[in-house]
């Protein structure tokens, strides 16, 4: 859909849009109409009609509550309009999916939104058992010779430093926009912790393969061509792991710095990136290896020369 209009009682729609933009960046085609606390159906209808008149092309209205005033007013006005689709049951996963997948049908959006609802504790228990079984069954050493045809030819579509590892921006935006087939989380602590592995598996898109590896394992496997022609997203928690990866024989040409949070002794480089003096030195060491380092929170944000920003 060319336009999305979020409609709700009170400030729910405005809050969902604000959270959406925190995750995926500014979305000018997403609009909000609210039933005010002291308003009624006439107030809401007038506001909705005024907003809809400003829009051109196909429009998806997402209402908060089936049978509520915003939904009912939308149906009353646009039921016969073939350019307008109407969904009820607003949720952040639904709005993100509609925003990122503009070609999806209303039925596909409903299916995707339903799939985002889960009993997290039950899912976590099941995933932890799967991870334990997989780890127990794994061979102690990989025979990498079978991948010789792909050695040194890994199809790396993005390399990102993100302290939060797999979260909305990585799973829902970067991975999808880059048609990623495998996410490789590279961090010693995560690789050795079954609980962290389970959390990462739950956070990753179900359609994508996931590997959680130590720095040494990742450098060895990627350089050996273990993942063939798969489109790989390398995800690091911090710059030190990136440097260790390079020192272990891994090869990179670019690194995107996404999120590094505030901690004592840091200074702000960008709104989402805070670094310590020690981390500055690590970035300098990475840059000396002729690796381009950029800062970009989400794909539609401008690409910033990170080292230029760091040194200013």
Annotated active-site positions, please?
Answer: 167
Start-to-end Cα distance in the chain = 42
And the tokens for 1?
């859909």
> Under a CB-based contact definition with an 8 Å cutoff, are residues 93 and 68 in contact?
no
d(CA 57, CA 29): 11
> Under a CB-based contact definition with an 8 Å cutoff, are residues 159 and 256 in contact?
yes
3-state secondary structure 265-279: CCEEEECCEEECHHH
Residues counted in the chain:
312
Query: Beta-strand (E) ranges in the chain?
Result: 3-9, 30-35, 59-63, 84-88, 155-162, 182-186, 209-213, 231-236, 254-259, 267-270, 273-275, 292-295, 304-305
d(CA 169, CA 243): 23
d(CA 182, CA 132): 20
And the tokens for 272?
């989402």
> Under a CB-based contact definition with an 8 Å cutoff, are residues 242 and 293 in contact?
no
Reduce the DSSP state of residue 5 to 3 states and report it. Answer: strand
């Amino acid at each position: 859909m060319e336009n999305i209009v979020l409609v709700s009682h009170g400030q729910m729609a405005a809050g969902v849009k604000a959270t959406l933009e925190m995750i995926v960046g500014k979305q000018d085609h997403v609009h909000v109409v609210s039933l005010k606390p002291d308003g009624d159906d006439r107030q809401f209808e007038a506001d909705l009609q005024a907003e809809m008149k400003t829009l051109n092309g196909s429009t998806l209205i997402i209402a908060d509550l089936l049978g509520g005033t915003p939904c009912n007013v939308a149906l009353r006005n646009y039921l016969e309009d073939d350019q307008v689709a109407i969904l009820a049951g607003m949720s952040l996963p639904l709005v993100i999916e509609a925003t990122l997948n503009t070609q999806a049908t209303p039925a596909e959006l409903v299916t995707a939104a339903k799939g985002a609802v889960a009993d997290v504790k039950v899912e976590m228990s099941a995933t932890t058992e799967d991870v334990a079984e997989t780890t127990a069954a794994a061979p102690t050493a990989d025979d990498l010779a079978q991948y010789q045809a792909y050695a040194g030819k890994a199809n790396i579509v993005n390399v990102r430093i993100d302290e939060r590892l797999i979260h909305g921006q990585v799973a829902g935006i970067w991975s999808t926009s880059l048609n990623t087939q495998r996410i490789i989380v590279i961090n010693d602590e995560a690789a050795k912790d079954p609980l962290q592995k389970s959390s990462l598996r739950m956070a990753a898109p179900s359609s994508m393969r996931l590997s959680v590896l130590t720095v040494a394992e990742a450098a060895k496997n990627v350089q050996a061509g273990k993942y063939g022609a798969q489109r790989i997203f390398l995800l690091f928690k911090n710059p030190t792991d990136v440097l260790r990866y390079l020192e272990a024989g891994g090869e990179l040409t670019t690194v995107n710095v996404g999120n590094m949070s505030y901690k004592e002794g840091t200074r702000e480089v960008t709104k989402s990136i805070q670094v310590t003096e020690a981390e500055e030195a690590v970035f300098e060491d990475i840059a000396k290896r002729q690796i381009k380092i950029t800062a970009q929170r989400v794909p539609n944000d401008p690409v910033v020369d990170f080292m230029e920003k760091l040194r200013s």
